[in-house]
Amino acid sequence: MATIGKPIGSANGDGTVMTVLVAISVCHLINDMMQSLLPAIYPGLKSELALSFGQIGLVTLVYQMTASVLQPLIGFYADQRPVPLALPIGTLFSMAGLAVLSLAHVFVLVLLGAALLGMGSSIFHPESSRVARMASGARHGFAQSVFQVGGNVGQSLGPLAAALVVVRWGQSSLAGFAMLALLSAAILWNVSRWYRHHGLERLRAGHEAAVAAPLPRGDVVRGIAVLLALIFSKYIYLASITSYFTFYLIHKFGLSVASAQIHLFVFLAAVAVGTFTGGQLGDRFGRKYVIWFSILGALPFTLLLPHASLFWTGPLTIMIGLVLASAFPAIIVFAQELMPGNVGMVSGLFFGFAFGVGGIGAAVLGLLADRIGIEAVYQLVAFMPLFGLLCVFLPDIERYGPTPGGS
């Protein structure tokens, strides 16, 4: 990685700028590890503050709705007036959120910390996704995978960190993790310099090419609608895992909190592997086929999971994570190619919608768990991958030719 204070970013032969992609992937890891500490400490918060499942869902709702409302707005503004320094500045909101959560001993402070975390994500995700597109060259799916796999690794490390550190040292240990935001801000300062001096030029070239060869409006509207429906199904199911899987394991199999967190870590690690693989497969075989396989292909495993023993629960969740996660890079790049002149807005819309759906889903699933039980919830969400049948309505954008690199 480049030394702090020096510009980074020499392109490979295909135009891919790996130093920039690695930098934002590492920062995505740090950002999402800090973000994922929130659901990772839910069991401790529930016990210490005597929270209901509905209140746990409300915390997730505040966090994810804060991010979902702001992300497309920030992405739209950045398309019109790019602000490279938003990247390091936005990271500091996540630091503030963890600092508040480390001291939160009343429910309202938990909500405030969750809101600050959401604001950090609302700035980081659309801007970093734009940078990934700028640095992608001719490998759009690969670039999104490199960027997103950092976030998935960070999400998987959150429960592991909670099991090894937070469970032992308590809620106040979150303040130590908040210091990682300073490292991320330093790296992103360097990325913002490349963004200003090189990325904006690539972005302008892509916008000019997009205006010269627009896609039919009907295909764009239909494609975006289908992709949002697929995001809805994917993140409703993921919300059931990230927010409530530890409770499910503790209730059904009598596991300890630490053991349940390890199982969640394994699932999220599988999500990271699936994410990295999905983007590259989309570059090679076509994004529409990868989306088909990823959403609908998870159905057999989600249907089996509520009826599996503890021995089979692990392998099934690994398969669900691998298959389901491979869709997101392909979905993001597919959407960017439908609207290549609006990369920031599209990235913000899809990341924001994913956060919002996850938040609403967590709140609704929490209320359902209070009413019908946590095991029944997993029997219901098992059918969410059926939304994959909507892929039949996705337009065949390949017939219009590839979109230009750096758009």
- Counting as low any pLDDT under 50, the low residues of the chain are 1-7, 212, 400-407
- Structure confidence at residue 404 (pLDDT): 39
Say if residues 358 and 239 touch (Cβ distance below 8 Å): yes
Gyration radius (Cα) of the chain, Å:
20
The beta strands (E) that lie in 224-336 are given as none
- Structure confidence at residue 299 (pLDDT): 95
Helices 107-134 and 53-80, interaxial angle, to 10°? 40
- Structure confidence at residue 378 (pLDDT): 94
A 10 A CB-CB count for 52 gives 13
Q: 181: closest CA among 132, 123, 262, 258? A: 123
pLDDT one-digit tens code per residue, 110-167: 999 999 988 988 889 888 888 888 888 777 788 888 898 888 788 777 777 777 787 7
Q: Decide: helix, strand or coil at residue 388.
A: helix
A 10 A CB-CB count for 130 gives 26
Nearest-angstrom CA–CA distance, 291 and 374:
29
Predicted TM-score (pTM) of the model is: 0.73
- Structure confidence at residue 232 (pLDDT): 93
Element (H, E) at 122: helix 107-134
Nearest-angstrom CA–CA distance, 128 and 94:
15
Which residue type sits at 121?
Answer: S
* Domains in the chain with CATH codes: 18-397 (1.20.1250.20)
Say if residues 363 and 244 touch (Cβ distance below 8 Å): no
Q: Could you tell me the CA-to-CA distances from 75 to 89, 344, 349, 356 in Å, in that order?
A: 15, 4, 8, 16
- Structure confidence at residue 204 (pLDDT): 64
Burial 294-312, CB ≥16 within 10 A → b, else e: bbbbbbebbebbbeeeeee
Q: 370: closest CA among 39, 53, 56? A: 53
Q: What is the dihedral of CA 392, 394, 396, 401, to 10 degrees?
A: -160
- Structure confidence at residue 8 (pLDDT): 55
CA 114 to chain centre: 16
Nearest-angstrom CA–CA distance, 327 and 231:
9
A 10 A CB-CB count for 358 gives 28
Tokens 């963890």 belong to which residue? 98
Tokens 């796999």 belong to which residue? 149
Element (H, E) at 381: helix 374-381
